[in-house]
Structure 1
Amino acid sequence: MGAKETINGIPVTEEQIEAWAAEAEQGIDVAALKKRGRGRPGRGAEPSQVVAVRLTSDELTLIDARAREENKTRSEIMREALATYAA
């Protein structure tokens, strides 16, 4: 294995490869693997749509400050603002 082989920035060692091989030899729970979702988690019963919005750096600064204050993501703050406006 090359010295530059990493996973998420962590070097992969021969010991780690041997541990993975031993785990695989014991058997892999395919049902557990299939339960893992792909991509971002859903927000409801239907797929969400991505909508592009252009904002100035000042607008983003205000949104990000509010998000930090409320310990939320930028997207959560924007969704809440839209829901309040549309109500």
Structure 2
Amino acid sequence: MKAKETINGVPVTEEQIAKWAAEAEAGHDVAALKKRGRGRPGRGAEPSQVVTVRLTPTEIAAVDAQAAQHQKTRSEFIRDVLAASVA
């Protein structure tokens, strides 16, 4: 192993590798691993698509202020505004 191998900036030691190997050899709880899920939760029955939009810092600040006022995330607020404008 290279001396500078890291995970999230933390050096990986031979001891850590031995611990991981012992855990793997002992077996993993497959049900617990599957329960964790992966990625972001879905928003509905159909898959979602990421759409990139360029905004100025002033526009982002305005969107964030409105989102906070409505106790929503930036994404939730933008989706709601879009839905209302095309309805």
Bin the TM-score by the shorter chain. 0.5 to 0.7
Q: Which residue of 1 aligns with 2:51?
A: 51
**1:40-65, CA deviations, whole angstroms, 9 ceiling, x for partnerless residues?**
22111110122333323321121233
CA distance in 1, matches of 2:68, 2:9: 27
**Range that drifts further, 2-11 or 41-50:** 2-11
What's the TM-score once normalised by structure 2's chain length? 0.68
Is there any run of 5+ residues in structure 1 with no aligned partner, and where? none
The answer to whether structure 1 residue 75 and structure 2 residue 85 are counterparts is no
Shift in alpha-carbon separation, 1:37–1:63, aligned structure 2, 3 A: same
Percent identity over paired residues: 71
Is there any run of 5+ residues in structure 2 with no aligned partner, and where? none
CA RMSD of aligned residues (A): 2.7
CA distance in 1, matches of 2:33, 2:39: 14
